[in-house]
Structure 1
Amino acid sequence: MARTPMARLELNLLVSLDALLTERSVSKAAERLGLSQPALSASLSRLRVHFDDQILVREGNTYRLTPLAGRLVEQTATALDAARKVFANEAVFDPGTATREFTVYGSDYAFASVGSRVSAAVGGIAPGVRFRFMHHTPPIVESPMTSLRTVDGMLLPHGFASDLPCIDVYDDEWVCLVAADNTAVGDRLTMDNLRELPWVFTYQSRSAFTPAGRQLQMIGVEPHIDAVVEGFLALPYFLVGTNRIGMVQAELADRITAKGDVRAMRPPFDVVRLAGALWWHPMHTDDPAHIWMRQQFLRFGRRPA
């Protein structure tokens, strides 16, 4: 069946499709959008013709999504979010009256440090502006130019992205963590400890790693890795009650060690400092709203001295 040309499709159909896929009910979707049920049924009929698929199939008193509709759920939400961002653009950005959402990729460390500071400060400057912080994944980091087309930025250390605009917004140092009752470690860590004791690593793949973890191997230490955690805040839970070693940023270590069941220790080698930036797609460079957002990261992102 020939598909409806894109020029004849309406943005309202995308809105209707998103509501139908979310609610899985014509009546509930109509109520959500403030439309009559016949009006939304007409939109569903057009969608069924376009996709040559039923989209929703009745099962008793409920509806289920067809396999195609299941695949459309995330794509539709992403497309609708992108459309909203297109129409949210303004020639002049007024933070006092703006109602814009900025989406930023990063790690839990970046959110707990840089992100939380920027969000708290912006709340008092631009009450209608909010941030959505989303965890990056290896595929996102591997293709930053593509990934950054649909978001406003990514908080990421140097060494992962290139040929993209960025501003430096944080720097930190690495410290080692061990359980407070880890008797295999004395008052200070030794190189033998690093070689002999098991480790918990944060990220461990071709595109997802920490510079400090790579440096260990560069100085001749091949760590025995007991577990890999996709984040930094969960790491101490993998140390308590074991003789394992982990490594996190100093800013997180201050909070993690507050309970007293984990202690922070200086590494027995000179660890490269962590330098991170806010990266964005070049298409955002001249956007007044994006320029304002970047200024907030520059102003509030760094840890107070």
Structure 2
Amino acid sequence: MTPRQSRPTHLANLDLNLLVTLRALLRERNVTRAARNLGVTQPAVSASLSRLRRHFADELLVRVQGAYVLTPLAAQLAGQVETVCAATERLFATGRAFDPATTQREFTLLMADYPATVLGPALSRLFDRDAPHAALHLQLVRETLGSGAGDTIRLVDGLVSPSLGHFRTPGVGSVPLFRDRWVCLVSAGHPLCEAAAFGIEDLARLPWVVPYHRDDGYPSAAPATRQLTALGIRPRIAVRVESYRAVPDFIAGTRRVALIPERLTARLPSAHGLRTLDCPVPLDSLEEHLWWDAGHDEDPAHSWLRELVARAADSLEP
């Protein structure tokens, strides 16, 4: 398609139903399945796809070896359309009577895989029991949240994260969920496992696996790296991962070491061949909070969601 010339887009000139169709098409990557999910005919979705292709001057879906795949632009739009549709649904649901037993609203929570692992089972059960027709969209954090975290919170229903300075801004509400403590994770055959005692200097000499550490120097906003910085350790980082759950895979069978939340280690399979050790000096506790845009404070559905997340956290073992 010929590139479309850039021009201002006015909301009044847009058919917002196309957003819903675009979301279904990017989710399903198939016109027939998108039509079935939307409850409309296949020709209607095909017509909408043609309009979307003209608007974006892009094919969006292209057939490759008998299946449709997203174009690079469509892949870029996929995350944006989910956020916009969720925000639009929240906007038009505000102020209406809310019944969790019948609502079909989709709630979006953003968190790293660590709190998702800890909170997930309890949260899933509560959602299934109390709001069986509601949808939960769990977005996983892919990198350390920086100074733009306040803007990120406005695009989702809630963010689960440790308490960091850039969240202390007007218009952001929060409630503590649960505490955890940091432990050292090493391979079962690591020399530290046999040591009568070890200190900070021993840890400083070892290669580290660090989650969510940006490669832009110190200090870092990543919780584990901030703890190391407070101890005066500038670790030799052997592996950086955008996941807490991936850390053990890069520890097993090596001389590397990592700081990891203790609640997460309780969920590691025994086959990993790993050991947890107490840090030689006390570390700050890790406290996860639920953060939200205070503009949702009066929304009954959002109040219910906050209470549900808090109940899931309350059900955790001490």
Q: TM-score, normalised by structure 2?
A: 0.79
2:183 corresponds to: 175
1:35-54 to 2 correspondences below 5 Å: 35-36=40-41, 39-40=44-45, 43=48, 46-47=51-52
Query: Does residue 201 of structure 1 match 2:213?
Result: no
Give, in angstroms, the shift of residue 166 of structure 1: 0.4
2:97 corresponds to: 92
Which of 162, 171, 180 aligns to 2:168? It is 162
Matched-pair contact (CA < 8 Å) for 2:144–2:212: no
- Range with greater deviation from structure 2 (111-120 or 18-27): 18-27
Letter in 1 for 2:12: A
1:22-101 to 2 correspondences below 5 Å: 33-36=38-41, 39-40=44-45, 43=48, 46-47=51-52, 72-89=77-94, 91-101=96-106
Q: How many pairs does the alignment contain?
A: 305
Between the aligned partners of 1:85 and 1:3, the Cα distance in structure 2 is 26
1:1-305 to 2 correspondences below 5 Å: 6-18=11-23, 33-36=38-41, 39-40=44-45, 43=48, 46-47=51-52, 72-89=77-94, 91-138=96-143, 140-160=145-165, 161-163=167-169, 164-185=172-193, 186-205=195-214, 209-256=221-268, 258-259=270-271, 261-302=273-314, 303-305=316-318
Letter in 2 for 1:202: P
Matched-pair contact (CA < 8 Å) for 2:123–2:308: yes
- Range with greater deviation from structure 2 (168-177 or 1-10): 1-10
CA deviation profile, 1:259-286 (whole Å, cap 9, x unmatched): 4611111100110111120000122111
Between the aligned partners of 2:255 and 2:65, the Cα distance in structure 1 is 56
CA deviation profile, 1:138-189 (whole Å, cap 9, x unmatched): 4754312211222111101012422121000111111101111112542443
Structure 2 unaligned runs (5+)? 1-5
Letter in 2 for 1:190: G
Identity of aligned residues (%): 37
* Secondary structure of the corresponding residue to residue 142 of structure 1: coil
Between the aligned partners of 2:10 and 2:223, the Cα distance in structure 1 is 49
Give, in angstroms, the shift of residue 46 of structure 1: 4.9
- Range with greater deviation from structure 2 (15-24 or 164-173): 15-24
- Range with greater deviation from structure 2 (270-279 or 207-216): 207-216
Letter in 2 for 1:165: G
- Range with greater deviation from structure 2 (94-103 or 59-68): 59-68
Matched-pair contact (CA < 8 Å) for 1:106–1:136: yes
Matched-pair contact (CA < 8 Å) for 1:179–1:242: yes
Matched-pair contact (CA < 8 Å) for 2:86–2:106: no
Give, in angstroms, the shift of residue 195 of structure 1: 1.8
Give, in angstroms, the shift of residue 225 of structure 1: 1.6
Q: Say if 1:12 and 1:267 are closer, same or farther in 2 by CA, change over 3 A.
A: same
Matched-pair contact (CA < 8 Å) for 2:144–2:221: no
Between the aligned partners of 1:22 and 1:246, the Cα distance in structure 2 is 36
- Range with greater deviation from structure 2 (20-29 or 228-237): 20-29
- Range with greater deviation from structure 2 (294-303 or 256-265): 256-265
Q: TM-score, normalised by structure 1?
A: 0.82
Matched-pair contact (CA < 8 Å) for 1:26–1:41: yes
What's the RMSD between the two structures over aligned residues? 3.5
Between the aligned partners of 1:213 and 1:62, the Cα distance in structure 2 is 43
Between the aligned partners of 1:66 and 1:211, the Cα distance in structure 2 is 36
* Secondary structure of the corresponding residue to residue 290 of structure 2: strand
Letter in 2 for 1:297: V
CA deviation profile, 1:2-41 (whole Å, cap 9, x unmatched): 8785324322233344456667777776566554566556
Letter in 1 for 2:131: A
